[in-house]
Each structure stands twice: as structure tokens, then as C-alpha cells.
Amino acid sequence: MDQEVFDEVFLSGEFDIDFGAPSFILDAGAHIGLSSVYFANRFPNAIVLAIEPDASNYNILCKNALAYPNIKPIQGGLWGHTGKLSIASKDAES
């Protein structure tokens, strides 16, 4: 799965869209941070908030973000209101 995401982000141009010049980017469901790294390189003056709930993905995200001070990893989820979230299927791919 990681290779597929890498190919989509860096080889297929999944995010080659005119975003203007954002100062803040929210990467909700950041997985291992590949899109966050892409955005950090493309928009070096933007803060990239990378949110990932899965612990193993979050650990890799943090390692991938080390070279990018504008990536701010957060282990958590994004929801429409305050509450406690959990991952529903522990057997699903991370």
C-alpha cells in the first residue's frame, strides 16, 4: 500500500493542482506522511498539519517528517464534534 501511495503522490501527479500559495495545509489521515512531505516540498512556507490515528503509521510519519520543520505530526483523528474516536477494525490495513 505504501508503494501505491508513493506512486500516486510522487509519480502520477495526484496533487499537481493549482492550490495557489497556501500558508496552512491540513493532511487528515496522513498515513505515513508521503503527501505531507510532498506538500512541505511544494509549499515550503506553509505549515502542514499531519493527523494520523494509527500508532504504527504515526511513528513512520514522524520519521518521514524529521527533515521538514514545517510538518507538524499529530496522533489523532478529525471529527465534526468533540468526542472519543477509535479505530473500528483492528484487522484492517493500517
State yes or no: pLDDT of 44 exceeds 70. Answer: yes
- For residue 10, give the DSSP letter: I
Q: Which residue has the cell 464534534?
A: 81
| pLDDT value of position 89 | 67
50-78 confidence digits (pLDDT tens): 999 999 999 999 999 999 999 999 999 98
Pick the CATH number of 23-79 from 3.40.50.300, 1.10.1040.10, 1.25.40.10, 3.40.50.150: 3.40.50.150
| pLDDT value of position 35 | 94
| pLDDT value of position 16 | 81
4-32 confidence digits (pLDDT tens): 776 776 667 777 888 889 999 999 999 99
How deeply is 71 buried, as exposed, middle or buried, from its count of CB atoms within 10 A (0-12, 13-18, 19+)? buried
- Residue 92: pLDDT band (50, 70, 90) is low
In angstroms, the Cα distances linking 14 to 7, 56, 66, 79 are: 9, 24, 23, 25
Query: Domain residues of the chain, as ranges?
Result: 23-79
Predicted TM-score (pTM) of the model is 0.81
